[in-house]
């Protein structure tokens, strides 16, 4: 931080500062009631009966919330109380819609939710200080690259729906890329702590080597794994963190040039990229074929209107991959503009809280790490919602916390735990009365 | 760094604002355009899968209902009587556009109209079944007899109450089973539809009101009405001279009687023997083009009949007879022979000759380009039975709410005035003579007063075949007739004037017996 820049404001709302966990508990109860009601309504809408397992569902859901809440009380008592309830709300709403779309996915998704909460608690338990991560930055960077490459290893990697982003170990499939984004965010933050002073004082061609490397890596992901969404995500993550660390506009300019250059090259070289762009420009050119998913998604959203068809009363099952990539359209159909806007607002609240941690925390590593994690969350949400809404070309990627998918859910809960941990550290640091520095 | 983080926050805020604006566009402001998109089958399936009200005949037979369907849709349509009511109920299909009452009363059956949904203030808060039940004027007992009497001969039977326009029977053979077309499985519906479309006998077409035929001699009732309306022709005067041919002026195709026979006499006699030559003369020389067109249109020709079933065909009476020819005017006054010459002032009742009066001689006996639906010909008889007033034909009489209370009643409404009551009385009596002593004797049945007119519309001579027609009315003695009917049996062998009476009249007789049973 330079002397010319204003110091971060430390004014925390007194109410929140006093009893963040009590606020969190209140919010969690509200989330629990909202999700429980939604679950009952969705079941009633599809089968005209109150689900028999409503009781166990409520116990399970409140139990998971309570576990995470108790972990927060114990490990991160000062953290921003918004993170956990908002994430559980998104997770719960996603679960309701997934269950309503395909009952056979319900058990798996609830298991993954439990594992996600478990990883959340474990992260808080085993990571008393986020700065511990900093010393393993190169290990994590290499680890991230290795994770990214796992799907390319013959025998381990599996191609599903045209993207080679899956790894199979025995009966378990997972997407290593979901975890790679966390370790790479840690690596970027740690690396830039070292080099940012250098980057800020001078800028030579060789200083742009890291951005070039990231660009090449992103292109590699796109070419070898055909995963446009992750490619875009990694590249944006690196450019944003580098830009903030170096405080140089030229990083953004070069990033933009490389992005559009890479995008154009990909467009000319790869049929599937061209197809994506063509569908984006005019999905109605082939409404029964290539454009089917996005056209059906638009029809679903249009059917939703202002207030939606009601849970269980729409036809979101008509959209291909409604439980993963297009879950936002399914929510928009049954809960209307009111519901889909609420989901966007929830993400904005999460992103806002994440950026607030990045703004207020003093240590550079934590600042850049929190920034990276928040950027991941924000860009991933923008890319998939924008893809569904035809603001950007569609790339298959999950909607954090909402979509069906174990890897994504677990990775995002770990991401959440890291943000919560940093939020706690930041708040404690401005309240020396609490003791721990 | 914090400055950059704030700027990033602003950029992200703008990006999410874009998402929010686009979300509003898709879900709210542009939603209607998306919902109306041709590729959007959501509305179609939703509409298809809803519960709809049943359709019931006047005598309580259920002919269409919604049954719960476990699967892609909540409900499907069932037609318990199969093909007997297919041309009335139509069908509601996922693949093709609905027809019949399923189409014309779509909103009411589905429960959409505001007054059905919110019958009382309490309905604002509860999800009440708002579908309407349609009660038909069709009587199953008559409809069934009509179908049995026609059998497997191609043709149509229309029977209605001339006083109200309520249709009592409406049958066309061949018909079709609407159930497979209403199958929620699109492939089943498509296969059934393709097979029906490929059938050369076009069973999907409700020919009773959607196909037009040469009406043959039954059309002479229209010419007779026009003749009486001129004031020059009465039941017993004038007496037309016996002739075997009629030579139109200016010269055109010679009009002959059936089998070269000779006929003449007063109007009743002319109708009794269905005298071509005399009716050609009445149309061409006594009535004239303008009044013939007016008379036909007063019965409903060249216009929509206003029936509550979709896709009804308009009957056709040619309106173009060319320019008036000043130099070959001739006139006819009662009892006088035609006088040729260029008269500048014509006496009362005289008809100016037109370029194509020869065509009028043909159209006046239902030949040339005249074509009528069986429903139209039933309305010709109905107008005569109902003192000259054509009532709007309909098959739905009542709309009932789910709880059985009356939502709406279809009132009897006059469509047109075809002739004066006195003209109608003359023709009623004449038709009664035709039934009792003429070509329509097969109509007679005990206890009922019957009047009729046969028709044989020749289609070709090798081999000779023709449409056999009968139109008429029936009623209790000393009461206004309560039944009017038209029966056509298509493409029957033979071409004698007797064909209509021999083939079609027994079917009408069975219908009369069923109606007055």
pLDDT 10s digits, B224-270 = 999 999 888 999 988 999 999 998 877 788 899 888 889 999 999 99
Interface check B236 vs A, CB under 8 A: no
Q: Is residue B352 part of a domain?
A: yes
> Which pLDDT band holds residue B307 (cuts at 50, 70, 90)?
very high
Q: Is residue A395 part of a domain?
A: no
Q: Is residue B86 part of a domain?
A: no
Q: How would you write chain A as a 3-class SS string?
A: CCCCCCCCCCCCCHHHHHCHHHHHHHHHHHHHHHHHHHHHHHHHHHHCCCCCCHHHHHHHHHHHHHHHHHHHHHHCCCCCCCHHHHHHHHHHHHHHHHHHHCHHHHHHHHHHHHHHHHHHHHHHHHCCCCHHHHHCHHHHHHHHHHHHHHHHCCCCEEEECCEEEEEEECCEEECHHHHHHHHHHHHHHHHHHHHHHHHHHCCCHHHHHHHHHHHHHHHHHHHHHCCHHHHHHHHHHHHHHHHHHHCCHHHHHHHHHHHHHHHHHHHHHCHHHHHHHHHHHCHHHCCCCCCHHHHHHHHHHHHHCCCCCCCCCCCHHHCCCCCCCCHHHHHHHHHHHHHHHHHHHHHHHHHHHHHHHHHHCCCHHHHHHHHHHHHHHHHHHHHHHHHHCCCCCCCCCCCCCCCCCHHHHHHHHHHHHHHHHHHHHHHHHCCHHHCCC
| Contact (Cβ atoms closer than 8 angstroms) between residue B144 and residue B169 | no
Interface check B10 vs A, CB under 8 A: no
Cross-chain Cβ contact B19/A301 below 8 Å: no
Cis peptide before B250 (omega within 30 of 0): yes
> Which pLDDT band holds residue B141 (cuts at 50, 70, 90)?
very high
pLDDT digit string, tens, across residues B477-510 = 989 999 999 999 998 876 666 677 889 999 999 9
Angle at A330 between CA A329 and CA A335, to 5 degrees: 100
CA nearest to A368 within chain B: B1
Q: Is residue B162 part of a domain?
A: no
* pLDDT greater at residue A18 or residue B198: B198
Which pLDDT does position B69 carry in this prediction? 86
Q: What angle do helix axes A364-388 and A406-429 make, rounded to 10 degrees?
A: 140
What is the percentage of chain B residues whose pLDDT exceeds 90? 63
| Chain B closest-CA separation from residue A301 CA (Å) | 5
Interface check A47 vs B, CB under 8 A: no
| Contact (Cβ atoms closer than 8 angstroms) between residue B410 and residue B394 | yes
| Chain A closest-CA separation from residue B2 CA (Å) | 6
Select the residue of B5, B12, B26 nearest A298 (Cβ to Cβ). Answer: B26
- How many other C-beta atoms lie within 10 A of the C-beta of residue B373? 30
Q: Judging by beta carbons within 10 Å of its beta carbon (0-12, 13-18, 19+), is residue B261 exposed, middle or buried?
A: middle
Beta-strand pair B62-68/B55-56: antiparallel
Domain count, chain B: 1
Instruction: Give me the domain span that covers residue B260.
Output: 219-224+238-364
* pLDDT greater at residue B399 or residue B129: B399
Cross-chain Cβ contact B5/A378 below 8 Å: no
Interface check B9 vs A, CB under 8 A: yes
Tell me which of B10, B14, B20, B23 to substitute to probe the interface with A (most A C-beta atoms closer than 10 Å): B23
- How many other C-beta atoms lie within 10 A of the C-beta of residue B384? 33
Q: Is residue A152 part of a domain?
A: yes
| Chain A closest-CA separation from residue B474 CA (Å) | 55
Interface check A364 vs B, CB under 8 A: yes
Instruction: Give me the domain span that covers residue A138.
Output: 132-269
Q: Is residue B359 part of a domain?
A: yes
B156, containing H or E segment: strand B155-160
Which pLDDT does position B333 carry in this prediction? 47
What is the percentage of chain A residues whose pLDDT exceeds 70? 91
Stretches where chain A sits below pLDDT 50 are: 1-7, 15, 433-437
CA nearest to B22 within chain A: A389
B242, containing H or E segment: strand B240-243
Q: Is residue A198 part of a domain?
A: yes
Average pLDDT taken over every residue of chain B: 88
Q: Provide, as residue numbers in chain B, all residues whose Cβ is less than 8 Å from the Cβ of A352.
A: 9
Spatial neighbors of B122 by CB under 8 A, at least 6 apart, are none
Interface check B73 vs A, CB under 8 A: no
Select the residue of A244, A386, A390 nearest B8 (Cβ to Cβ). Answer: A244
Mean predicted confidence (pLDDT) in B284-301: 92
Which pLDDT does position B124 carry in this prediction? 60
DSSP B112: -
- Comparing CA positions, the residue from B447, B454, B451, B453 lying closest to residue B473 is B451
Domain count, chain A: 1
HSE, CB side, 13 Å, CA atoms: give it for residue B488.
Answer: 32
Q: Is residue A191 part of a domain?
A: yes
Place of tokens 């933009």: A256
Cross-chain Cβ contact B2/A8 below 8 Å: yes
Which pLDDT does position A170 carry in this prediction? 64
Interface check B46 vs A, CB under 8 A: yes
Cross-chain Cβ contact A389/B8 below 8 Å: no
Cross-chain Cβ contact A315/B42 below 8 Å: yes
Judged against a pLDDT cut of 80, whether residue B199 lies above it is answered with yes
Distance (Å, whole) CA B83 – CA B62: 13
Which pLDDT does position B123 carry in this prediction? 59
Tell me which of A8, A283, A298 to substitute to probe the interface with B (most B C-beta atoms closer than 10 Å): A298
Cross-chain Cβ contact A299/B42 below 8 Å: yes
Does the ipTM exceed 0.85? yes
Which pLDDT does position B354 carry in this prediction? 81
Sheet containing strand B396-400, strands side by side: B75-78, B62-68, B55-56, B133-136, B396-400, B406-409
Judged against a pLDDT cut of 90, whether residue B449 lies above it is answered with yes
Q: Provide, as residue numbers in chain A, all residues whose Cβ is less than 8 Å from the Cβ of B28.
A: 305-306, 337
Mean predicted confidence (pLDDT) in B432-458: 87
pLDDT digit string, tens, across residues B373-416 = 999 999 999 999 999 999 999 999 999 988 888 999 999 999 99
Q: Is residue A226 part of a domain?
A: yes
Q: Is residue B436 part of a domain?
A: no
A positions 236-275 inside 8 Å of B (CB): 240, 243-245, 247
Q: Is residue B478 part of a domain?
A: no
Q: Is residue A27 part of a domain?
A: no
Judged against a pLDDT cut of 50, whether residue B345 lies above it is answered with no
Which pLDDT does position B347 carry in this prediction? 41
Q: Is residue A122 part of a domain?
A: no
| Contact (Cβ atoms closer than 8 angstroms) between residue A309 and residue A332 | no
Select the residue of B5, B20, B42 nearest A244 (Cβ to Cβ). Answer: B5
CB contacts < 8 A (A, B): 113
Cross-chain Cβ contact B5/A287 below 8 Å: no
Tell me which of B15, B18, B27 to substitute to probe the interface with A (most A C-beta atoms closer than 10 Å): B27
| Chain B closest-CA separation from residue A169 CA (Å) | 37
Which pLDDT does position A171 carry in this prediction? 64
Q: Is residue A144 part of a domain?
A: yes
Judged against a pLDDT cut of 60, whether residue B39 lies above it is answered with yes
Cross-chain Cβ contact B27/A302 below 8 Å: yes
Q: Judging by beta carbons within 10 Å of its beta carbon (0-12, 13-18, 19+), is residue A259 exposed, middle or buried?
A: middle
Judged against a pLDDT cut of 70, whether residue B77 lies above it is answered with yes
Mean predicted confidence (pLDDT) in B110-132: 74
Tell me which of A299, A368, A394 to substitute to probe the interface with B (most B C-beta atoms closer than 10 Å): A299
| Contact (Cβ atoms closer than 8 angstroms) between residue A243 and residue A253 | no
Which pLDDT does position B46 carry in this prediction? 78
Interface check B333 vs A, CB under 8 A: no
Q: Provide, as residue numbers in chain B, all residues whose Cβ is less than 8 Å from the Cβ of A305.
A: 27-28, 31
- For the question of residue B104 being annotated catalytic, the response is no
Which pLDDT does position A409 carry in this prediction? 94
Q: Which of B66, B104, B208, B217 is catalytic?
A: B217
Tell me which of A2, A297, A300, A302 to substitute to probe the interface with B (most B C-beta atoms closer than 10 Å): A302
Judged against a pLDDT cut of 80, whether residue B350 lies above it is answered with no
Select the residue of A243, A305, A391 nearest B31 (Cβ to Cβ). Answer: A305
Q: Provide, as residue numbers in chain A, all residues whose Cβ is less than 8 Å from the Cβ of B5.
A: 244, 355, 358-359, 367, 371
B13, containing H or E segment: helix B2-24
Which pLDDT does position A104 carry in this prediction? 87
Mean predicted confidence (pLDDT) in B267-279: 93
């Amino acid at each position: 931080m330079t002397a010319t820049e204003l110091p971060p404001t430390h004014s925390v709302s007194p109410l929140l500062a006093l009893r963040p966990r009590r606020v969190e508990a209140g919010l969690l109860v509200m989330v629990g009631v909202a999700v429980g009601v939604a679950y009952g309504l969705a079941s009633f809408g599809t089968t005209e009966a109150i689900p028999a397992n409503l009781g166990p569902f409520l116990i399970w859901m409140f139990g998971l919330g309570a576990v995470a809440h108790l972990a927060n009380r114990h490990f991160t008592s000062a953290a921003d109380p918004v993170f956990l309830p908002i994430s559980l709300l998104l997770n719960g709403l996603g679960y309701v819609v997934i269950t309503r779309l395909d009952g056979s996915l319900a058990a798996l998704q609830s298991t993954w939710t439990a594992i996600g909460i478990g990883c959340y608690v474990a992260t808080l338990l085993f990571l008393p200080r986020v700065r511990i991560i900093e010393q393993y930055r190169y290990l994590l960077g290499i680890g991230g690259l290795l994770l990214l490459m796992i799907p390319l290893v013959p025998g381990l990697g599996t191609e599903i729906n045209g993207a080679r982003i899956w790894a199979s170990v025995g009966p378990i499939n997972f997407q290593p890329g979901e975890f790679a984004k966390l370790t790479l965010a840690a690596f970027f933050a740690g690396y830039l702590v070292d080099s940012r002073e250098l980057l800020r004082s001078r800028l030579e061609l060789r200083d742009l080597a890291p951005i070039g490397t990231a660009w090449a890596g992103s292109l590699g992901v796109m070419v070898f794994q055909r995963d446009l969404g992750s490619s875009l995500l990694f590249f944006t993550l690196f450019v944003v963190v580098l830009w903030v660390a170096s405080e140089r506009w030229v990083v953004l300019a070069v990033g933009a040039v490389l992005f559009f250059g890479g995008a154009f090259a990909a467009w000319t070289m790869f049929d599937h990229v061209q197809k994506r762009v063509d569908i984006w420009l005019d999905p109605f050119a082939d409404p029964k074929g290539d454009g089917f998913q996005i056209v059906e998604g638009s029809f679903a959203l249009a059917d939703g209107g202002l207030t939606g068809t009601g849970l269980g009363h729409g036809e979101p099952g008509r959209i291909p991959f409604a439980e993963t990539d297009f879950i936002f359209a399914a929510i928009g159909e049954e809960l209307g503009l009111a519901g889909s806007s609420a989901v966007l607002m929830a993400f904005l609240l999460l992103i806002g809280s994440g950026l607030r941690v990045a703004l207020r925390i003093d240590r550079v590593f934590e600042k850049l790490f929190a920034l990276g994690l928040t950027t991941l969350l924000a860009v991933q949400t923008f890319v998939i919602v924008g893809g569904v809404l035809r603001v950007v070309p569609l790339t298959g990627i999950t909607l954090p916390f909402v979509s069906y998918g174990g890897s994504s859910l677990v990775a995002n809960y770990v991401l959440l735990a890291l943000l919560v941990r940093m939020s706690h550290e930041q708040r404690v640091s401005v309240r020396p009365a609490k003791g721990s520095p | 760094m914090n400055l950059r983080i704030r700027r990033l926050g602003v950029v992200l805020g703008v990006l999410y604002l874009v998402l929010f604006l686009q979300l509003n566009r898709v879900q709210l402001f542009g939603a209607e355009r998306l919902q109306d998109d041709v590729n959007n089958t959501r509305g179609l399936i939703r509409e298809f899968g809803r519960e709809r009200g049943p359709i019931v005949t006047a005598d309580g037979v259920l002919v269409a209902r919604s049954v719960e369907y476990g699967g892609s849709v909540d409900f499907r349509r069932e037609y318990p009587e199969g093909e007997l009511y297919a041309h009335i109920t139509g069908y509601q299909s996922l693949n093709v556009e609905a027809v019949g009452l399923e189409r014309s009363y779509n909103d009411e059956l589905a429960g959409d109209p505001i007054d059905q949904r919110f019958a009382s203030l309490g309905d604002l808060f509860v999800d009440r079944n708002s579908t309407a039940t349609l009660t038909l004027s069709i009587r199953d007992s008559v409809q069934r007899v009509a179908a049995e009497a026609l059998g497997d001969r191609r043709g149509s039977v229309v029977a209605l109450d001339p006083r109200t326009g309520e249709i009592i029977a409406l049958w066309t053979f061949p018909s079709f089973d609407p159930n497979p077309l209403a199958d929620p499985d699109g492939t089943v519906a498509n296969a059934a539809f393709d097979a029906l479309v490929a059938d050369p006998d076009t069973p999907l077409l409700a020919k009773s009101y959607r196909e037009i035929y040469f009406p043959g001699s039954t059309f002479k009732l229209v010419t007779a009405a026009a003749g009486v309306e001129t004031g020059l022709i009465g039941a017993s005067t004038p007496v037309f001279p016996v002739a075997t041919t009629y030579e139109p002026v200016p010269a055109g195709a010679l009009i002959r009687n059936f089998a070269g026979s000779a006929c003449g006499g007063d109007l009743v006699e002319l109708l009794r023997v269905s005298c071509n030559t005399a009716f050609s003369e009445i149309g061409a020389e006594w009535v004239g083009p303008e009044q013939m067109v007016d008379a036909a249109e007063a019965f409903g020709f060249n216009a929509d009949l206003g029936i509550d079933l979709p896709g009804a065909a308009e009957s056709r009476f040619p309106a173009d007879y060319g320019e008036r020819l000043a130099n070959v005017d001739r006139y006819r006054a009662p009892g006088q022979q035609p006088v040729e010459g260029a008269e500048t002032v014509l006496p009362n009742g005289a008809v100016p000759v037109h370029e194509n009066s020869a065509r009028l001689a043909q159209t006046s006996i239902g030949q040339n380009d005249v074509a009528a639906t069986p429903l139209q010909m039933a309305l010709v008889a109905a107008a005569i039975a109902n003192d000259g007033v054509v009532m709007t034909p309909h098959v739905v009489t009542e709309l009932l709410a789910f709880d059985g209370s009356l939502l709406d009643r279809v009132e009897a409404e006059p469509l047109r005035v075809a002739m004066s009551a006195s003209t109608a009385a003359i023709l009623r009596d004449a038709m009664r003579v035709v039934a009792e002593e003429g070509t329509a004797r097969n109509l007679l049945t005990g206890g009922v007063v019957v009047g009729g007119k046969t028709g044989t519309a020749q289609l070709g001579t090798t081999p000779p075949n023709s449409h056999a027609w009968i139109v008429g009315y029936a009623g209790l003695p000393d009461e206004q007739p309560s039944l009017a009917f038209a029966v056509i049996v298509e493409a029957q062998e033979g071409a004698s004037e007797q064909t209509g009476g021999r083939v079609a009249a027994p079917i009408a007789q069975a219908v009369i017996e069923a109606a007055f049973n």
